[in-house]
Structure 1
């Protein structure tokens, strides 16, 4: 007479224990003494701590991480307020310019002053006849005009031999540049650009690829609106 073999029971795994505890929220209520007796290794040293103390440490770490995030948000917010204030002063000052001939130079010098940009250059084409002899309306090739029209957002990055960099006083010190096309209808308008604004810095990271361009776009749109008065209608 043969006996039936006893079926083997699979061993209990850590996942089984974890699933049981997750699905049994009242377990530690029934076994409250375990909370004090369970010992874990502290991440801040080799000493053993209770489960409750370990949870408290985890909460403190989370609070510290949240505090750092809040401080970063406050810092970025303050920086944006400062930039917005500078943008306001720049726009106000170019609105006060009475001479159209002086407008491009004023826009450039105010960008250098308000935003502490080492070098700025502006070129405008398709201008009215009485502006044709101005420096800001000369020395722009068809390729440079086409390149400006191809930009639908500011280019920020290293100087890759752009013709527009030659418009700067010291192109050798243009380690990073921002190229801003000028359009009457705004940066994302489908019309062709009628000018380009060049910002340059000896700091390779000042205008880095991938940086946010919201304020640069606002500068381009405000400059384009002001310089549209020079165009040949």
Structure 2
């Protein structure tokens, strides 16, 4: 858009940018500059518009601050629940109690609708435990191939059938259990939820990895002694 003198708006804006002292020499001009009001049909002065922009910026900063506070509180609560869960596992005196305690506490502490646990190649003394029920070779290979938990929609995974109500699961997480990062899996935790957005491929898995590592350490008491 051109002015009557043939100058474009870009020319004017460029001149003002190159001449920072212009409004100092013409301070009275600022009092007469009016801008469109984004919140109504009435024009407002430049000072009023600047104040409104500043208030909007402050409101945005306040919202971000509240979000940071809320996330901090959520993280603190999560850390506390994780701490309580680990303490309960460490206090278990009978290794046979650990699998059920692990599952129940996970459901309660982290509000997971359905949780299941399976172990294979356990020590002979625990071979008759429900947690050691048969697991097919395909699922064992899948567990060993997972370097991070799988999160996604309910598919035809054999592990879904370990849950009490598999038909109610819309999303799930599969957590491999292993002695070390490079070692083969000796078990798997399954989390199931009716909420399709609870476990998704895009979600962060840091907490699930920690749960997997801690659960692995807890149930090694049911395995044969490592070489």
- TM-score category (smaller protein): over 0.9
C-alpha distance in 1, partners of 2:178/2:61?
42
Aligned twin of 1:95: 90
Match of 1:204 among 189, 193, 196: 196
Which runs of 5 or more structure 1 residues have no equivalent in the other structure? 1-9
Deviation at 1:182, TM superposition (A): 0.9
1:139 is matched with which residue: 131, 134, 141? 134
Alpha carbons 2:119, 2:187 under 8 Å: kept: yes
Aligned match of 1:232 in 220, 224, 227?
224
Is 1:79 equivalent to 2:84 in the alignment? no
Is the contact made by 2:120 and 2:134 (CA closer than 8 Å) also made in structure 1?
Answer: no
Contact kept, 8 Å, 2:179 with 2:216, in 1: the verdict is yes
Specify the SS of the correspondent of 1:33. Answer: helix
Q: Distance in 2 between matches of 1:223 and 1:37?
A: 70
Partner SS state of residue 10, structure 2: helix
1:216 partner SS: helix
What are the equivalent positions in structure 2 for 1:206-225 lying under 5 Å apart?
Answer: 206-225=198-217
Q: Structure 2 CA distance, aligned partners of 1:88 and 1:191?
A: 26
> Match for 1:38 among 33, 36, 50?
33
> Within 2, Cα distance between the matches of 1:14 and 1:191?
67
Q: Is 2:146 the counterpart of 1:155?
A: no
CA distance in 1, matches of 2:112, 2:105: 9
Distance, in Å, in 1 between the alignment partners of 2:110 and 2:137 is 30
1:191 corresponds in structure 2 to 183
1:7 matched to which residue of 2? none
Question: Following TM superposition, by how much is the alpha carbon of 1:12 offset from its aligned partner in structure 2, in angstroms?
Answer: 2.3
Shift of 1:219: 0.9
SS at match of 2:20: coil
The residue number in structure 2 matching 1:27 is 22
Instruction: Quote the offset at 1:19 in angstroms.
Output: 1.7
Aligned residues: 221
CA positional deviation for 1:218? 1.1
CA distance in 2, matches of 1:119, 1:55: 54
SS at match of 2:214: helix
What is the TM-score with the length of structure 1 in the denominator?
Answer: 0.91
Measure, in 2, the Cα distance between the counterparts of 1:196 and 1:180.
Answer: 6
Matched position secondary structure for 2:95? coil
Residue 11 of structure 1: how far off its partner (Å): 3.9
RMSD: 1.4
Question: 1:53 maps to which residue?
Answer: 48
Q: Which moved more, 1:142-151 or 1:132-141?
A: 132-141
Question: Which structure has the larger Rg over C-alpha atoms?
Answer: 1
Aligned partner of residue 127 in structure 1, secondary structure: coil
Unaligned runs of 5+ in 2: none
